[in-house]
Amino acid sequence: MLRKLIAVLLAAVMVLSLAACTAPATTPSADTKEAEPEKEEEAPADEAEEEAPADEAEDTGDVADYGGITLTFMNSKPEISDEMEAIVKGWADQHNVKIEFYETSNPTDTLTQKYAAGDGPILAVVDSTQIVEMGEEKMLPLDGAEWEGETKLAWYVNGKLYGMPLTVESQCLVVNKKAVEETLGREFDKSQYTTTETFEALLAELREKGMENPIIMMSESWSMCGHLFAQMMNFQDGTAQGCFDFVDYIKDGGDAYDNEMFKNQVKIYQIYSEYNINKADPLAAVYDLNCSYLVDGEAAFMSNGTWGWPDLAAMGADVNDYEIMSHPIDNDLTGRVQASATKFIVIDNTIATPEQQEAAKAFLNYLTMTDEGQKALVENCGIVSAFSNNPYAPADPVNTSLAVDYMATGKTVNTVPFGAPSDFRTTMEPYIQKLVTGLGTDRELADALNDYWRSHEPNGR
Amino acid sequence: MYMQRKEKMSRKILLFLLFAGPSMTLFVMFVIVPFIYGLYLTMTNWDGFSSTKEFVGLQNYANIFKEKDFWSSIWLTFRYVIASVIFVNGIAFLLAYLLTSGIKGENFLRAGFFTPNLIGGIVLGFIWQFIFNRVMTTLPIFPEQSFLSDPTKAFWAMVIVETWRASGYMLLIYIAGFVGVSPDFIEAARIDGANNRQILWRIRMPLMMQSFTICLFLTLSSAFKVYDMNLSLTAGGPYGSTRMAAMTIFEKAFTYHDYGMGQSEAVVFFLIMLVVAVIQLRVTSKREVAA
């Protein structure tokens, strides 16, 4: 009898535990399951009425209280994850908000999975691609935001504002100027080396004078096959229309192989491969090791972007020794770098409650409209702000070089809103890798590019 | 009489629900429902995040035949499965034979061989990526070019890592098989004049066929489903030459925003795996003998 009783009790415990698993039915997101029931209980019915004075309080320096709600935050900019998390959590602590922070290096995949699971992040740092593909359906329109008038780089889809620009970045060559000058034995003036011919001659001279392989071509797909190859379209004439015209040219039966910028791009790959410090095995290059080559002066140019400074600084790079320069371009855009807002913060419009959205908006205002937020973004995260009201200047030499040498002088190219679909890179990757390792030809690369654009539509048209 | 039987029946149902109910509910919720919903998704053109999806019938299945990338990844996966199953089981069996033959430090060696299995696939991939790219390239006995930069060698790199990971686990099952064979049979065989090789082939192996059934099934299914190690070790490269089926399906569903198609490919892949696994189970189960 006792055994029966125990058996029944055990079974009852199991059934109850199952019921417990399904209890928090009001939870809008799996990640917020701990905090949300609290919010449901604590948030008063007239929460919305309380929000208005809360926002006003922000301006007057008082601190708004969001009643312990939870915001999930997806960061797709891993190199500033720690700094960003500190900023978000610092703000959240002041406003009685709980933050669940996670990072991803692949925002498309992560967002797709999260939305498929009904668990999209309330706040997310994303690329423009995700805004184009998911914005209208999943993201909160931010038109009329306090900060809208302070930037020209916000991301709109069909006239509606979805993305708050987080940072301006440039894909370019990062230069260890000291290493170049010590090898050459003279002052280095980057404006003299903006074409494939002059830049190749410079690399040859460096090799002759002892720097065997002066350039570092990153092996990472996002760099070699993403950023570097994208400039083939971005530098057609430096405008979005130029990119669309190129795509239309292919769609109308044109051959990428005959395109001048395509030839320029192939030449860039050939030059970089020849003088690559990872020449023996270009696909096995390791990011950290590449950074150390540049910092140690074993190589002088790194095909990367302004976001790479934190990695160089971590290896002891001296702020006085570095600057950026353009990839070698032979058309009218020679000497320019691609620079645009590369990351945006968006707010969810599918599972976020009005309270969560209000808090998220307040956080964006904090980043853009308060001195503390502006300073934290530029000085802690080391980024170039996309906002005209941000008085802080970047502290590192790479971003300073972007701001002073290129943005201030108008030597930038920005092809917003043109964008390639998210499978562009993975589709082109094998052909670019084969070209770089000598196993493929420019003809094969052109054919793959032709095939791609004849079966795909560009984003942003 | 009728009432009594009815009462007995309802008692049985109640007991069944009490004991099996929770796990049945969980199984239905987390396996059966998603599976059926997954089947439904194969008949839609869902992009993976949109709130709307159109019903397209069997169109996705029809389109699979035109998907060259998918079939080439299936073929690649088959080759990977064959190589992995042979190496994992071959090495695990040999090690188990050695570690049950009375050599010194058996227990320490068993634990040592099992340890790699405790490391997750992603971490394992990164560790071996470092070994292939940074360590082996500096050793004079290996070529200067990393294994991961060459399509053929990258494929074998995956097989090596899988063998390293899985053989320790299979080793334990084979050891259980070896230990489970009664010494009486071995002794009897010896008295009858059988040598070691004959004892292994004629006595031990038939009597431990259950171990083969389990190990072959586990290695087959894990090799078919490989994704994490594939992602962190080669990321499908070089030149997209090591994109296994799971990675191709994942990219189709999540990166290319073609969830309906990706799900259809997953169903076809599942059926292929099912057929192979059933054939394997039938073949090996038939060879099992009772002592």
Cα–Cα distance for residue pair B92/B166, rounded to 1 Å: 8
Count the Cβ atoms, other than its own, within 10 Å of residue B12. 10
Nearest CA in chain B to A428: B239
Let me know whether A84 and A125 are in one domain. yes
Residue B251 domain boundaries: 66-286
Hey, is the C-beta of A429 within 8 angstroms of any chain B C-beta? yes
Tokens 């296994």 map to which residue?
B244
**A7, A284, A430: residue with CB nearest B239:** A430
B160: closest CA of chain A, how far (Å): 18
| Size of chain B in residues | 291
Amino acid (1-letter code) at residue A348: D
Half-sphere exposure (Cβ direction) of A5: Cα atoms closer than 13 Å: 2
- In a mutational test of the A interface, the residue from B254, B258, B261, B263 whose CB has the highest number of chain A CBs within 10 Å is B254
Per the domain annotation, does A38 fall within a domain?
A: no
Q: Are residues A307 and A197 in the same domain?
A: yes
Q: How many helices (H) and strands (E) does chain B have?
A: 14, 0
- Looking at the structure, tell me whether residues A198 and A346 fall in a common domain: no
Optimal mutation site among A106, A112, A441, interface B, most CBs of chain B within 10 A: A112
Q: Regarding beta strands A322-325 and A301-305, do their DSSP bridges make them parallel or antiparallel, or are they unpaired?
A: unpaired
In terms of domains, do A431 and A282 share one? yes
Q: How confident is the model at residue A3 (pLDDT cuts 50, 70, 90)?
A: low
Given a contact cutoff of 8 angstroms between Cβ atoms, the answer to whether A403 and A186 are in contact is no
Say if B123 falls within a structural domain.
yes
User: DSSP secondary-structure letter at A148?
Assistant: G
Q: How far is CA A402 from CA A165, A322, A323, B173, in A?
A: 17, 11, 8, 61
Query: Residue B20 carries which DSSP code?
Result: H
Tokens 């956080």 belong to residue: A363
**A147 domain residue, yes or no:** yes
Are the CB atoms for A395 and A385 separated by under 8 Å?
no
Same domain for A327 and A188, yes or no, is yes
Is the CB of B145 less than 8 angstroms away from the CB of A134? no
Of all residues in chain A, the one with the smallest CA distance to B240 is A430
Give yes or no for a contact between B76 and B242, defined as CB atoms under 8 angstroms apart. yes
Summarize the confidence of residues B224-229 as an average pLDDT. 94
Q: Is the pLDDT of residue B227 over 60?
A: yes
Whether A16 maps to a domain, the answer reads no
**Would residue B246 count as lying in a domain?**
yes
Distance from CA of B248 to the nearest CA of A (A): 11
- When divided into structural domains, chain B yields a total of 1
Q: Is B150 on the interface with A (CB under 8 A)?
A: no
Interface test with B, best of A425, A426, A439, A452 (most B CBs within 10 A): A426
**Quick check: is B197 in a domain?**
yes
Q: Are residues A335 and A348 in the same domain?
A: no
d(CA A210, CA A288): 23
DSSP letters, B156-200, are: HHHHHHHHHHHHHHHHHHHHHHHHHS-HHHHHHHHHTT--HHHII
pLDDT at A52 over 70: no
Contact B146 A283 (CB under 8 A): yes
One domain, residues A124 and A156: yes
At residue B289, the pLDDT reads 75
As a whole-number percent, the residues of chain B with pLDDT over 70 amount to 98
User: Is residue A118 in some structural domain?
Assistant: yes
Do the beta carbons of residue A101 and residue A85 sit within 8 Å?
Answer: yes
Q: What is the mean pLDDT of residues A355-369?
A: 96
Q: Long-range contacts made by residues A149-153, C-beta under 8 angstroms, separation at least 24?
A: A150/A368, A150/A369, A150/A387, A150/A388, A150/A389, A150/A390, A151/A368, A151/A386, A151/A387, A151/A388, A153/A340, A153/A341, A153/A386, A153/A416
Looking at the domain assignment, is residue A440 inside a domain? yes
A347 and A316: one domain? no
Structure tokens at B182: 């009664």
Phi, psi (deg, nearest 5) at residue A168: -100, 130
Q: Which residue has the higher pLDDT, A22 or A329?
A: A329
Instruction: Name the burial class of residue B260, with classes exposed (0-12), middle (13-18) and buried (19+) by CB atoms within 10 angstroms of its CB.
Output: buried
φ, ψ of residue A21 to 5 degrees: the values are -60, -35
Per-residue confidence (pLDDT) for residue B51, from 0 to 100 = 79
Of B19, B137, B144, the CB nearest to A11: B19
Residues A163 and A255 occupy one common structural domain = no
- What is the number of alpha carbons within 13 Å of residue B77 lying toward its C-beta? 28
For the stretch A151-165, pLDDT in tens is 989 999 989 999 999
Q: So what's the ipTM on this one?
A: 0.78
Query: How does residue B1 score in pLDDT terms, banded at 50, 70 and 90?
Result: low
Cβ–Cβ of B256/A423 closer than 8 Å? yes
Q: Among A112, A283, A289, whose Cβ lies nearest the Cβ of B238? A: A283
Residue A430 located in a structural domain: yes
Element (H, E) at B246: helix B245-250
The tokens of A277 are what?
Answer: 């410090």
Measured between beta carbons, the chain B residues lying within 8 angstroms of A283 are: 146, 148-149, 237-238
**Which residues of chain B have a CB within 8 Å of the CB of A11?**
18-19, 21-22
Residues of B in contact with A282 (CB under 8 A): 149
Same domain (yes/no): A210, A336: yes
Say which of A116, A283, A286 has its CB closest to residue B48.
A116
Q: Are the C-beta atoms of A280 and B145 separated by less than 8 Å?
A: yes
The predicted-structure confidence for B53-88, as pLDDT tens digits, reads as follows 899 999 999 999 989 989 999 999 999 999 999 999
Residue type, B80: Y
B148 touches chain A (CB under 8 A): yes
The tens digit of pLDDT for each residue in A79-129 reads 889 999 999 999 999 999 999 999 998 898 899 889 888 899 999 999 988
How far CA A424 is from CA of A201, A421, A432, A452, B59, in Å, comes to 33, 6, 12, 8, 24
Confirm if A393 and A400 have CB atoms less than 8 A apart: yes
Inspect the interface and report whether the beta carbons of A18 and B240 lie closer than 8 Å: no
Provide, rounded to the nearest whole percent, the portion of chain A with pLDDT above 70: 87
- Quick one: closest CA in A to B16, which residue? A11
More confident residue, A55 or A303: A303
- The CATH code of the domain that includes A138 is 3.40.190.10
Number of domains in chain A: 2
Closest chain A C-alpha to B272 CA, distance in angstroms:
25
Give tens-digit pLDDT for A427-441. Answer: 999 999 999 999 999
Q: By three-state DSSP, how is residue A173 classified?
A: strand
Task: Inform me whether the C-beta atom of residue A173 falls under 8 Å from chain B C-beta atoms.
Answer: no
Q: Rounded to an integer, what is the distance from CA B89 to the centroid of its chain?
A: 12
Q: Which tens digits make up the pLDDT trace of A171-195?
A: 999 999 999 999 999 999 999 999 9
Q: Is A423 within 8 Å of B255 when comparing Cβ atoms?
A: yes
Cα A261 from chain centroid?
25
The verdict on residue B214 lying in a domain is: yes
Whether B179 contacts B173, CB under 8 Å: no
Residue A48: inside a domain, yes or no? no
Whether the per-residue pLDDT at A337 is higher than 60: the answer is: yes
Report whether A406 contacts A338 (CB < 8 A).
no
Taking residues A236-265, report their average pLDDT: 96
B1 touches chain A (CB under 8 A): no
Identify the closest residue of chain A to B241 by CA–CA distance: A430
User: Are residues A315 and A186 both part of a single domain?
Assistant: yes
CB within 8 Å: B259 and A116:
yes
A92: contact with B, CB 8 A cutoff: no
Name which of A62-71, A252-261, B128-137 the model is least confident about: A62-71
Distance CA A363, CA A366 (A): 5
Q: With a CB-CB cutoff of 8 Å, which residues 383-412 of chain A face chain B?
A: none
Average pLDDT, stretch A331-360? 95
A435 shares its domain with A366: no
Among the partner-chain residues A113, A281, A350, the one whose CB lies closest to the CB of B146 is A281
Closest-CA distance of chain A to residue B254, Å: 5
Q: Is residue A460 part of a domain?
A: no
Interchain pair A423, B254: CB under 8 A: no
Minimum distance, in Å, between the CA of residue A102 and any CA atom of chain B = 18
- Predicted confidence (pLDDT) at residue A413 exceeds the cutoff of 90: yes
Report the pLDDT value the prediction gives residue A56, as an integer from 0 to 100: 39
Q: Say yes or no: B19 contacts chain A, CB-CB below 8 A.
A: yes
The overall pTM is greater than 0.90: no
Full domain range(s) for residue A305: 170-340+401-455
Inter-chain touch B149–A284, beta carbons under 8 Å: yes
Q: How far is A281 from chain B (nearest CA, A)?
A: 5
Instruction: Give the CA radius of gyration of chain A.
Output: 25
Give the number of other CB atoms < 10 A from CB of residue B203.
19
Residues of B in contact with A17 (CB under 8 A): 22
Provide the CATH number for the domain around residue B228: 1.10.3720.10
Q: Which B residues 257-286 touch A at CB under 8 Å?
A: 257, 259
Model confidence pLDDT, tens digit, residues B15-54? 999 999 999 999 999 999 999 999 999 999 998 888 788 9
Q: Please judge whether A281 and B137 are an interchain contact, meaning their C-beta atoms are less than 8 angstroms apart.
A: yes
User: If you measure CA to CA, which chain A residue comes closest to B233?
Assistant: A284
Hey, is the C-beta of B101 within 8 angstroms of any chain A C-beta? no
